Structure 1
Amino acid sequence: MSPSAALTPVLAAESPAPGLDNVIAAETRLSHVDGQAGELIIAGHHLQQLAGHRFEEVLELLWSGLVPQPLSAGEIAARLGKARVRAFALMQPLLPGLAHLSPVESLRLLLAALPDDSAEPHHVLAVAAVPVFTAAIIRQARGLPLVAPDAARSHAADFLAMLRNEPPADDKVRALDTYLVTVSDHGFNASTFAARVIASTKAGLFSSVVGGLCALKGPLHGGAPGPVLDMLDAIGTEARIVDWLTDSLDRGERLMGFGHRIYRVRDPRADVLKEAVSALKDGSGRIAFAGKVEAAALSLLHERKPLRPLQTNVEFYTALLLEAVGFPRDSFTNVFAAGRMAGWTAHVLEQELTGRLIRPQSRYVGPMPA
């Protein structure tokens, strides 16, 4: 056999779509994404219908039918409160190990330490733990004392109280609730699919959601909102907007906060978050400036790439909202995880009900043996 023949791959008639585009991997009742119509449905409700509701109410929808005992939003809020207190106690011995880790690496370590034999329902403890861990990670990095959770507060309100050590303003609680609801689930995105694959092995809920977080950490998935603020900072003033954006496009750089793998039109989450940000009582100067950047960017993108649907995505107004309610930009992926944990836990529970190992086939295209 000649060397060239030995290296000739065996190609099948049809190759799978790169990235598994348009491949149906499973059925789910949890969420539906229509990229052509710009539509997101979560547990039978359009996102726009859920905006303005508390995070606990969306958890009620997502967990319904997947747990032995159905719970109302009020009962979920009470259980989350108790679980936040439990998570705070579990976390404290581990805090010295967080030195020199990034916020998302710290969250990964703490979530991985949740015990599989926990008395609390695992899906409740997982959702409760992320705000507790995230607030502690931020405060410890700043050299500030930790703030214990208050079981009587709502999930979003307690998140902000643990972060700032002060009663949170109502408008900021509403904004954070809207964010958590908006990112709670989004079809078979990379992190959700990773969590479901792990769940299919019966590894357990905590292992599954840690896998989800590891996928979310990647800059092509959940690690991108912070650079939107870096872009706004670099532009600086209104007079520089067009020149800065033009120079970036001339260099072939991506404008952060624009374009999406699935949506061929405007990301519906962007509009929901834009409205939530606009309702905040402070930060209007930053928000107004961002609006001018958005308008200029959309105009330039349409002019430069008229055949590519590059619209505002969820990252753009995520960055503005999370900054406005008080989160540092290096923690944005953690806050994303706090919302997406709702979807991860629901998908893990749904996958466990199937009892079927996810084991797709691959197509070999390497050389054949002699």
Structure 2
Amino acid sequence: MSPSMSEHNSPQPGSTAQSAKGGLEGIVAATTGISKVEGQTGRLIYRGYNIHDLARSTTYEEVAYLLWFGRLPNAQELKQLKEQFAAERTIPEEVMTILEALPAATAPMDALRTAVSAWGAVAIQGTPTIDQAIALTARFPVFLATFERLRKGKKPLTPLAELGHAANYLYMLTGQIPSEEHVRGLNSYLVLLADHGMNASTFTGRIVASTESDIASAVVAAIGALKGPLHGGAPALVQDMLREIGSVENAESWIRNAITSGKKLMGFGHRVYKTTDPRAEELREMARVADPDSFKMARTVEELALAILQELKPGRKLYTNVEYYSAALMASVGLSGDMFTPTFAVSRVAGWTAHILEQVSNNRLIRPEAEYTGPMDLHFVPLEQRS
């Protein structure tokens, strides 16, 4: 990994170099060579490559290699990475015992967080390494598929060495060799969401890594951040919204009522993109092919919502984001709603670990300032004199 991350100097007491903003909006906290999000033009770049080219032409394994090593692999390097992935698709007995003990009602995102933490406790020592990043990334689908089958009263399945990352995930969930169409759709989804600049979960992981903690702790923290509905927890809520709308005929009245009453439209708007999210563009076309009936409903809602938003909130640049069509695509490959965000994590772990490795390659503790807004110079009153 090239040392491409450098921390900005902390402001000195009394400095006004950077004023506090809600959510750190507009504040540059680090430099990175991993990915670039161009919000005004709607572009996403991984290590110099446009996301559209990668989503249409590469496997998730190739993109993970790109994020970790800074370049696309040749045939031999890709073969070696796939072999390493296959070798790492195991669950230690201690972790399996914990997964078996979790109640069936446990949310899959919580099960994933627990499994990663337990695996880190028995398998991880020392400074984060590329081998640890590969081991974690290979195991995410195994942890999730194992829990999914356990909570349904089914026996967990052993991964198949001949299947790739996306195909193995679907096989371990269902017990059936997935169709090429489903593998292609899930693979493209995994490529599209593998990294996205300094988002909340990536920043969280980098903060933990900057303290010289281990890679499992940093990834567990990132999982916790991704779980929130303002970050990665929205795809299932998009599905809930479309289900509540119910039909194309009901869409316009539902959307108008939602907007006028202040209800949030799930899957619309993005903190960075002021135009169409490029990932949503790719997912829209994949959803069109994967499930034409569901796509018709989703597309109608999208078009109506954008028109009504422009009418009722002129000047607001709100477009569908990656989560909107993620819901349709993941449902089309057989995933239940509560598996959407964990599957997001299956993709994003490659980006998280790439950022963690970049952070430790040229580390400086991430320790920003806070602008104090509380009282000053209060007179201290002993306990016995307080009323």
TM-score, length of structure 1 as denominator length: 0.91
Show the 5 A alignment for 1:163-182: 163-182=173-192
Structure 1 residue ranges, 4+ long, deviating more than 6 angstroms after superposition = 11-14
String of CA shifts for 1:39-92, please: whole Å, max 9, x gaps.
Answer: 1111111110101210001011111159xxxx82222111111111x2365632
Q: CA deviation at 1:363?
A: 2.4
Q: CA deviation at 1:316?
A: 0.6
2:222 to 209, 212, 219: 212
1:129 to 125, 139, 156: 139
Query: What's the counterpart of residue 51 of structure 2?
Result: 47
Query: May I ask how many residue pairs the two structures share in their alignment?
Result: 355
1:98 to 92, 95, 102: 102
Q: CA deviation at 1:145?
A: 1.9
**Percent same amino acid at aligned positions?**
41
Q: Which amino acid aligns with 1:128?
A: A
Secondary structure of 2:36's partner?
strand
String of CA shifts for 1:294-350, please: whole Å, max 9, x gaps.
Answer: 111111111111111010111110000111011110111100000000100000000
For 1:222 and 1:41, the matched residues in 2 are separated by 20
Query: What's the counterpart of residue 354 of structure 1?
Result: 362
Secondary structure of 2:99's partner?
helix
Pairing 1:87–2:91 present: yes
Decide whether the 8 Å contact of 1:258 with 1:310 is kept in 2: yes
Deviates more, 1:191-200 or 1:359-368: 359-368
Pairing 1:309–2:317 present: yes
1:16 to 15, 20, 25: 20
Pairing 1:30–2:34 present: yes
Check 1:257–1:115 CA distance in 2 against 1; reply closer, same or farther (3 A cut). closer
Query: What's the counterpart of residue 172 of structure 2?
Result: 162
For 1:253 and 1:168, the matched residues in 2 are separated by 38
Decide whether the 8 Å contact of 1:227 with 1:256 is kept in 2: yes
1:78 to 80, 83, 87: 83
Show the 5 A alignment for 1:289-328: 289-328=297-336
Decide whether the 8 Å contact of 1:56 with 1:74 is kept in 2: no
1:112 to 98, 111, 117: 117
Q: Which amino acid aligns with 1:35?
A: G
Q: Which amino acid aligns with 1:294?
A: E
Show the 5 A alignment for 1:243-254: 243-254=253-264
Q: CA deviation at 1:132?
A: 0.7
Query: What's the counterpart of residue 7 of structure 1?
Result: none
Show the 5 A alignment for 1:212-231: 212-231=222-241
For 2:259 and 2:368, the matched residues in 1 are separated by 39
For 1:254 and 1:364, the matched residues in 2 are separated by 32
For 2:370 and 2:305, the matched residues in 1 are separated by 41
Query: What's the counterpart of residue 285 of structure 1?
Result: 293
For 2:353 and 2:361, the matched residues in 1 are separated by 13
For 1:168 and 1:299, the matched residues in 2 are separated by 38
2:62 to 19, 36, 57: 57
For 1:229 and 1:165, the matched residues in 2 are separated by 25
Query: What's the counterpart of residue 276 of structure 1?
Result: 286
Secondary structure of 1:277's partner?
helix
Q: Which amino acid aligns with 1:187?
A: G
Pairing 1:190–2:200 present: yes
Q: CA deviation at 1:117?
A: 6.4
For 1:137 and 1:297, the matched residues in 2 are separated by 37
Check 1:314–1:88 CA distance in 2 against 1; reply closer, same or farther (3 A cut). farther
Query: What's the counterpart of residue 209 of structure 2?
Result: 199
Decide whether the 8 Å contact of 2:100 with 2:150 is kept in 1: no
Secondary structure of 1:226's partner?
helix
Q: CA deviation at 1:97?
A: 2.9
Decide whether the 8 Å contact of 1:116 with 1:204 is kept in 2: no
Decide whether the 8 Å contact of 2:88 with 2:135 is kept in 1: yes
Deviates more, 1:107-116 or 1:321-330: 107-116
Deviates more, 1:286-295 or 1:86-95: 86-95
For 1:287 and 1:365, the matched residues in 2 are separated by 49
Query: What's the counterpart of residue 6 of structure 2?
Result: none
Q: Which runs of 5+ in 2 are unaligned?
A: 1-13, 125-129, 379-387
For 1:73 and 1:56, the matched residues in 2 are separated by 7
Q: Which amino acid aligns with 1:260?
A: H
Decide whether the 8 Å contact of 2:195 with 2:350 is kept in 1: yes
Q: CA deviation at 1:140?
A: 1.9
Q: Which amino acid aligns with 1:160?
A: L
